[in-house]
Amino acid sequence: MRLEPRPALSRTMAVASPVIALALTIALGTALFILLGKDPIAGLGVFFYEPIRSVYALTELALKSTPLILCAIGLSVCYRSNVWNIGAEGQLLAGAIAGGGVALYVTTIGGTDLGRWVIVPILLAGVSGGMVWAGITAFLRDRFHANEILVSLMLVYVAQLLVSYLVFGPWKDPLGYNFPQTKMFAPETLMPIIVQGSRLHAGFPLTLALVVAVWIFMFRTFVGYQLQVGGMAPDAARYAGFAARRGLWISMLLAGATAGLAGAMEAVGPLGQLTPHVSPGYGFTAIIVAFVGRLHPVGCVFAGLLLSMLLIGGELAQSRLGLPNALTGVFQGLLLFSLLGCDTLIRYRIRWSR
């Protein structure tokens, strides 16, 4: 058996690859449950049925997917531009700090004359925080030719330590029984709920609107075309006069903005306060979402919903089946490696010979 290059990319495999990868993930997951001594039907049920079994479950699925989709669409722009931003988690935390700080200030002074409109400066603060954090990476890459992979990744741990410092120190709730958390934010600072009886807030439709905006930017504007050419053919982009420096800053700041917005919405959304666990790793999971979604904004929506099912399923598997939390990461890894393997068949075909 050998891989032979195709004369042209296979459109059939491009469409079938995600479906085959999901089927392989389910098959490997079934084998894993059997090896662990668990009922595979029950195991697959908590991952692929429980998250969609009711209206409330669907709202939780949409809520969980919101930060994943936001981070993924920004990362998709970076990766299409050949800018390898691995620090969406840190940019999300920076947005949570900035947005949560504004919400905490409003709560401390006892309200505001803006009423519900105070959510706008809170979200803008989150966007600004994420852009500043991403801008550090862009500056070091632009000015000193530092590797953006290492810089953006290391800044994640700086952001985590900064969150811990704030919630253990100056922002700690004095009436919080010594728990590392801020006081609960005032009701007017929280994201509006759009489905009564659930936790789903206005951030989800806002995310879908941003998906459309990023799609228009990437595929219907000249700047988006420049970014894609710079990513696929840097030499051709330089010959055409497209500035690589400009592409670096645009893609990094856009990714920081979407990740920062996700962080702010987490702080003033389902949590209602700032804690060290404001993100369970959304920024890292969003890297998988971006690639499963084919680095396309619309694809990131479906990939975000799929990865959200795995996150929710992992939580249910702990409580109902007694399985470790690491199983969620195992399923994510199986899905990603299955997809990467199947994507090989887009450019190559299998040949059997004696």
Taking all residues of the chain, what is their mean pLDDT, rounded to a whole number?
A: 93
Report the pLDDT averaged over residues 311-325: 88
Top mean pLDDT of 186-195, 240-249, 255-264, 341-350 is at 255-264
Mean pLDDT (whole number) for 147-167: 97
Higher local confidence (pLDDT), 109 or 289: 289
Would residue 300 count as lying in a domain? no
DSSP state of 308: H
91-141 confidence digits (pLDDT tens): 999 999 999 999 999 998 876 666 788 999 999 999 999 999 999 999 999
The one-character DSSP state at 176 is S
Beta strands in the chain (DSSP E): 2-5, 348-351
Find out whether 23 and 348 touch, Cβ atoms under 8 Å: no
Q: Is the dihedral of CA 157, 158, 159, 161 positive or negative?
A: positive
Residue 174 burial (CB < 10 Å; 0-12/13-18/19+)? exposed
Burial 106-131 (b: 16+ CB within 10 A, else e): bbeeeebeeeeebbebbbbbbbbbbb
Helices within 110-243 (DSSP H only): 119-144, 148-168, 203-220, 222-232, 234-239
Question: How many structural domains is the chain composed of?
Answer: 1
| Interval 281-294 mean pLDDT | 94
Asked whether residue 180 is assigned to any structural domain, the reply reads yes
Q: Are strands 2-5 and 348-351 parallel, antiparallel or unpaired?
A: antiparallel
Domain annotation covers residue 43: no
Cβ-contact 263, 95 below 8 angstroms: yes
Q: Does residue 278 lie within any of the structural domains? A: yes
Q: Is residue 59 assigned to a domain? A: no
d(CA 34, CA 97): 43
Distances (CA, A) of 271 to 38, 173, 199, 274, 275: 33, 15, 10, 7, 8
Using CA atoms, how far residue 314 sits from 50, 69, 284, 321, in Å, is: 11, 19, 16, 10
SS3 186: coil
Judged by average pLDDT, the poorest of 27-31, 295-299, 325-329, 341-345 is 325-329
State pLDDT tens for residues 58-103.
Answer: 999 999 999 999 999 999 999 999 999 999 999 999 999 999 999 9
Residue 283 located in a structural domain? yes
* pLDDT higher than threshold 90 for residue 55: yes
Distance CA 247, CA 254 (A): 11
* Beta-bridge partner residues of 350: 3
Give which of 323, 310, 316 is closest to 32, Cα–Cα.
Answer: 323
In single-letter form, the type of residue at position 46 comes to: V
Most confident range (mean pLDDT) of 1-5, 31-35, 252-256 is: 252-256
Distances in whole angstroms, Cα of residue 56 to Cα of each of 28, 61, 334: 29, 9, 28
Question: 302 exposed, middle or buried (CB, 10 Å; 0-12, 13-18, 19+)?
Answer: middle
Report whether pLDDT(237) > 90: no
Identify the pLDDT of residue 242.
85
Instruction: Determine the average pLDDT of the residues in 210-236.
Output: 93
Out of 159-173, 200-214, 225-239, least confident range: 225-239
- As a whole number, mean pLDDT of residues 209-222 equals 96
Which domain does 270 fall in, by range?
73-291
Does position 31 have pLDDT exceeding 80, yes or no?
yes
The answer to whether position 102 is within a domain reads: yes
Using a 10 angstrom Cβ sphere, with 0-12 exposed, 13-18 middle and 19 or more buried, the burial of residue 301 is buried
pTM summary value: 0.94
120 domain-assigned: yes
pLDDT band at 143 (very low <50, low <70, confident <90, very high): very high
Q: What is the per-residue pLDDT for 241?
A: 86
Q: To the nearest whole percent, how much of the chain has pLDDT over 70?
A: 99
Cross-strand pairs, 4: 349
In contact, 100 and 129? CB cutoff 8 Å? no
What is residue 111's predicted lDDT score, i.e. its pLDDT? 64
Per-residue burial over 177-195, b = 16 or more CB atoms within 10 Å of its CB, e = otherwise:
eeebbbbbbbebbbbeeee
The Cα–Cα gap between 27 and 45 comes to 13
Taking the C-alpha atoms of residue 237 and residue 225, their distance in angstroms, rounded to an integer, is 10
**Would you tell me how many other CB atoms lie within 10 Å of the CB of residue 80?**
21
Query: What pLDDT shows up at residue 324?
Result: 86
Strand partners, 351: 2
